[in-house]
Amino acid sequence: MNPTMYAQQLELFDLFNPKSIKNARSQLTFVDLFAGIGGFRIPLEELGCKCLGYSEIDQKAIQVYRDNFIKDANSDEVYLGDITNLSQFPFAIDVLVGGVPCQPWSIAGKMQGLDDPRGKLWTDVFRVVKANRPKAFIFE
């Protein structure tokens, strides 16, 4: 590796600083689907976004999520339950985020795709996006 090139890359990344949206006129809101223990939530809150609700079915993950994020300041945040039962939220949102289970598609899983019930959760994601029409959505 060329040491000069490496130094230039470091310099480039040192210059990269994502703009904070904390000073925006209004705070962006989001819903956290497949919330797990909050991997998407942390960077969004660091950018100044506000979570209005979350969806998760694993009881242990829900408890960790609540312990880590649900405090007096956001006690009005709504637990939305199972995505398969969701449609339009009781509030408008700017951003919808989530990490759909990857086992149906992963080589670490059985790669059953839509033949695995978890693989069909993408259809629920599409339905929820269509029902709520967020300004943006981020899924992995």
pTM: 0.76
59 token code pair: 């009881």
| 21-139 carries CATH number 3.30.70.2740 | no
Q: Tens digits of per-residue pLDDT, 117-140?
A: 776 888 898 999 999 999 999 988
One-letter amino acid for residue 127 of the chain: R
| DSSP structure class, residue 77 | P
Rounded CA-CA distance 88/112 in Å is 29
Asked if residue 21 has pLDDT above 90, the reply is: no
Which of 7, 24, 57, 102 is the catalytic position?
102
Residue 102 known to be catalytic: yes
Per-residue pLDDT tens over the stretch 50-81: 999 999 999 999 999 999 999 887 778 999 99
44-50: long-range contacts, CB 8 A cutoff, minimum separation 24 = 44/95, 44/97, 47/18, 47/20, 47/21, 47/22, 48/20, 48/21, 48/22, 48/23, 48/24, 49/21, 49/94, 49/95, 50/74
